[in-house]
């Protein structure tokens, strides 16, 4: 990293994210409308189109903390990873990276912003794993309880209460910040404080860190991850739930409808499963 401009911008992002990230890990601050809108604006709308340039600034090291987190998850869960959730998928970087490790898993990638999901969908066209993109908020994931084996969260809003709800017993969350390596231990302690997970490990990697949290029940038998003969679409809709009342959903011609009659329209073929966008 010889270019002084690159070195300076990486140093500034380290300072900035080392200050911001602990606040995002405090549920009372993270769930404020103000915080969530600010993050969605800064990480999404303001930088969305330039996010690939930011990734390139890291000169191949953007994914190093997630790579270590994924390797650790594989070590702990072996081949029991069937459903992987990428929260705040952005350009789809994490989905692509994880698909290399878990090529047979089913991926569901969520983002608050339609524009980012379009980028992610485009970038993930060449991967062999099955990936569905859904517009949703990390704080109200439209997923059934205990439906995910692995939840991936990088450089976006963490909501560990929601992650613990959607994780199967023994399921794992890998949370990464690629710039705030200085606060790796603080982040680990903050995640431990929720007492939602049995095991919490993590470490600093390059400029960033990962925290891996595993739910209790790892000795239990995993559920049947894929039902034989099930199509890709059926599999997705078996996992999805209404973000408002968590009831099951079914596919209609122009959208998704839940048992309580909340309707969520498709936008460019992507289900918009945001509570505030529900019809009916
Ligand atoms: C900085 S980008 C990171 C993208 C990707 N995880 C990565 O590491 O390359 C953050 C992404 O999170 C999304 N985001 C921000 N707040 C969110 C929320 N509450 N729910 C879902 N996505 C959110 C933004 O729209 C943006 O696409």
pLDDT in tens, 41-83: 887 777 777 888 888 888 788 999 999 999 999 999 887 899 9
pLDDT band per the 50, 70, 90 thresholds, residue 205: very high
Q: Is the dihedral of CA 265, 117, 47, 164 positive or negative?
A: positive
Q: Mean pLDDT for the chain?
A: 90
Give residue for tokens 């790796």.
184
Specify the range with the lowest mean pLDDT, choosing from 2-16, 99-113, 160-174: 2-16
Taking a C-beta distance cutoff of 8 angstroms, is the pair 99, 128 a contact? yes
Give residue 220's pLDDT: 62
- Looking at residues 125-138, what average pLDDT do you find? 95
Ligand 1 atom nearest to 66, measured from its CA:
8
Q: Which of 248, 247, 237, 245 is nearest to 271 (CA)?
A: 237
From ligand 1's centre to the CA of 156, what distance in Å?
Answer: 5
pLDDT in tens, 233-243: 788 888 999 99
Domains of the chain listed by start with CATH number: 1-217+230-239 (3.40.50.150), 241-277 (no CATH)
CA dihedral angle for residue 168, residue 154, residue 192, residue 147, rounded to 10 degrees: -10
> In this model, does residue 184 exceed pLDDT 90?
yes
Give residue 52's pLDDT: 85
Range list of H helices, 124-277: 160-166, 184-193, 232-239
pLDDT in tens, 20-32: 999 999 988 998 9
Taking a C-beta distance cutoff of 8 angstroms, is the pair 75, 101 a contact? no
Give residue for tokens 């485009």.
122
Instruction: Give burial (CB, 10 Å; 0-12/13-18/19+) of 6.
Output: middle
Question: Interhelix angle for 184-193 vs 4-24, to 10°?
Answer: 20
User: pTM of the predicted model, to two decimals?
Assistant: 0.94
CB atoms within 10 A of CB 8: 10
From ligand 1's centre to the CA of 53, what distance in Å?
Answer: 16
Residues with CB under 6 A from ligand 1: 36, 39-40, 43-44, 88-91, 93-94, 110-113, 116, 137-139, 154-157
Give residue 225's pLDDT: 55
Q: How far is CA 111 from CA 16, 45, 194, in A?
A: 23, 12, 24
């Amino acid at each position: 990293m010889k270019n002084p401009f690159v070195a300076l911008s990486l140093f500034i992002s380290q300072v900035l994210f080392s200050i911001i990230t602990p606040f995002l890990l405090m549920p009372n601050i993270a769930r404020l409308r103000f915080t969530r809108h600010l993050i969605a604006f800064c990480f999404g709308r303001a930088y969305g189109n330039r996010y690939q340039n930011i990734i390139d600034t890291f000169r191949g090291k953007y994914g190093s903390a997630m790579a270590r987190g994924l390797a650790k998850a594989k070590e702990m869960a072996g081949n029991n990873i069937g459903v992987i959730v990428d929260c705040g998928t952005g350009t789809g970087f994490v989905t692509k990276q994880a698909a290399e490790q878990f090529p047979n898993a089913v991926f569901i990638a969520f983002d608050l912003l339609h524009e980012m999901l379009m980028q992610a969908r485009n970038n993930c066209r060449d991967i062999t794993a099955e990936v569905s993109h859904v517009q949703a908020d990390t704080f109200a994931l439209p997923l059934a309880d205990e439906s995910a084996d692995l939840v991936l969260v990088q450089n976006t809003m963490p909501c560990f209460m929601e992650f613990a709800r959607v994780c199967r017993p023994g399921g794992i969350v890998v949370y990464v910040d690629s710039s705030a390596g200085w606060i790796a231990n603080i982040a680990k302690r903050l995640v431990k404080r929720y007492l939602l997970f049995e095991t919490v490990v993590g470490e600093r990697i390059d400029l960033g860190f990962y925290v891996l949290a595993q739910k209790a029940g790892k000795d239990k038998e995993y559920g049947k991850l894929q039902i034989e003969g099930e199509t890709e679409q059926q599999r997705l809709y078996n996992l999805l739930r209404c973000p408002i009342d968590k009831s099951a959903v079914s596919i209609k011609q122009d959208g998704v409808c839940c048992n309580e009659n909340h309707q969520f329209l498709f936008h460019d073929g992507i289900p918009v499963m945001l509570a505030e966008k529900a019809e009916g």
